[in-house]
Structure 1
Amino acid sequence: MFKYVIFDVDGTILDTEKAILISLQKVLKEEGKDYQLADLRFALGIPGKETLRRLNVMDVDRVHPKWSETILEFSHEVSVFQDLEDVIKTLAESPARTGIVTSKTKKELIDEFEPFGLSSFFEYTICASDTEKHKPHPDPLLACLDGINANKDETIYIGDSTYDMQCANSAGVKFALALWGSKTTEGFESADFVLKEPKDILDLIKM
């Protein structure tokens, strides 16, 4: 049984894929760079500034806020994955302690996650603004573990990207793949658990 359940946000709690990729494509086009959506999928799961650096965007500090604002134009495309809200509320009523480790900045978390009213169900949150190094480096997850005084052996990190899995592995905690977000198990052969639907999360605290 796991006593500490840590969540990623994008692709794990929120279905943000379409909003992230379309807004990125739009901003890049305005910057004179044309990309197909498929070529931008690598952006899912890493901080926005890192994405822009990998795309060789010259003025990252100018373009990143522009992208964050553009994502809000597509907020109608973002939703909580089906049944996940009920699972999160059930976890909050259980003895398990919960946290969030996300690549969103603090402002992005406020603008894009808090409107769904789920923040209060999590005891501790680490965002990209809180650590110098980011996923797949273990620092964000380790910071969250420290924040809730968690035992690594009793902790599970739930995410949808290889960055999440690498972060968990490096931090020495178990990793559960959110299949509803990743949509594939390819590349996740070393995941400790594959969760087919949100309610499977509850089995992790009953083991």
Structure 2
Amino acid sequence: MNRTMDSRLGLSVATICSRLGVLTMLKAIVFDMDGTITVLKLPLEAMRRDTKKYYISRGFPHDQFETSDGISSSTGKARNYFLANGYSEDDWKKMESEMDTILSRHEGFAAVNASEIEGSLDIIKKIRDVGLKTAILTNNGRPALDKILEQIPLGEHFDLIHTRHESPKPKPYPDGLLKVSSELGVDESEVVFVGDALIDGAAATRAGIEFWGVSTGETSSEKLYEAGASKVFTSLSGVLEAALDASRETL
């Protein structure tokens, strides 16, 4: 295949690699926040439970939820159910707003005691020192992030930080990653997404972006590989080494 164009397909190598989730040359790294950059303190089980509880209180059949359903999958099931049973988009948006308030309450409590994973910001600085762009994409809401920014100087280390309130759709949908990549000015084949959760892997796969896992949150290395990770590290130090190697390479 030609380095710039496959004449049989009429597609650039960058486009093909993007669709396959393959790096051409690394120019940017997007990070999840909780469990990746900051210590995971969110009461995730309580948040998942309250998500299901809310939708059930509005009429969603409780037996249609599975134990494994998280916030995003529960919300997706609820949306499909309500819109298929006579609810309007405006009705759904109202429910979304009420659900957002519930999640923001949990996030706000956790944000009060936010702390970085030891050494994480030093590693981000080293990544930036070699010319790579950096960003955060989190499913946290903006109010919680603002509280975290009062305690941890994330803004000094990232070109942009997007929450679920800036993303068209939160992870595991690819929309947020695609928007962040666009705003960073990089192709999907020139960026890696680093995260600790299954929804991080799902979002990256759907966006055609390479996913590197870190087992610093709630998910094991094995599960991260199953979620689509091409590499899994026990800490961000491994991400730094891989980033330095990848930034020197071209396809």
Q: TM-score, normalised by structure 2?
A: 0.64
Runs of 4+ displaced beyond 6 Å: 25-28
2:185 counterpart SS class: coil
The yes-or-no answer on 1:3 pairing with 2:22 is no
**What is the CA-CA distance between 1:77 and the residue it aligns to?**
5.0
Partner of 2:234: 196
Question: Equivalent pairs: percent with the same residue?
Answer: 23
Q: What is the correspondence of 1:159-178 to structure 2 with a 5 Å cutoff?
A: 159-178=195-214
The one-letter code matched in structure 1 to 2:156 is: S
100, 125, 148: which one aligns with 2:184: 148
Structure 1: which 5+ runs fail to align?
A: 34-38
Q: Deviation digits for residues 46-77 of structure 1, max 9, x if unmatched?
A: 59x949x69xxx96634543542344334465
Residue 12 in structure 1 maps to residue 36 in structure 2: yes
Q: How many Å separate the matches in 2 of 1:41 and 1:83?
A: 33
Contact 1:138 1:170 in 2 (8 A): yes
Contact 1:2–1:154 (8 Å) recurs in 2: yes
* Distance of 1:130 and 1:186 partners within structure 2: 31
Structure 2: runs of 5+ lacking an equivalent: 1-24, 57-66, 80-93, 246-251
Whether the 8 Å contact between 1:27 and 1:70 is mirrored in structure 2 is no
* Distance in 2, Cα, partners of 1:59 & 1:145: 30
Q: Does 1:179 align with 2:215?
A: yes
Query: Aligned-residue CA RMSD in angstroms?
Result: 3.3
C-alpha separation in 2, matches of 1:42 and 1:27: 10
Q: Normalising to structure 1: TM-score of the pair?
A: 0.76
Pairwise CA distance, 1:182: 3.6
Provide the rounded CA distance (Å) in 2 between the counterparts of 1:90 and 1:195: 17
Output one character per residue of 1:77-106: Cα deviation in whole Å (capped at 9) or x when no partner.
532112212111222322111111111222
Number of equivalenced pairs: 194
1:130, 1:71 → 2: CA distance?
Answer: 16
**Alignment-mate amino acid for residue 123 of structure 1:** D
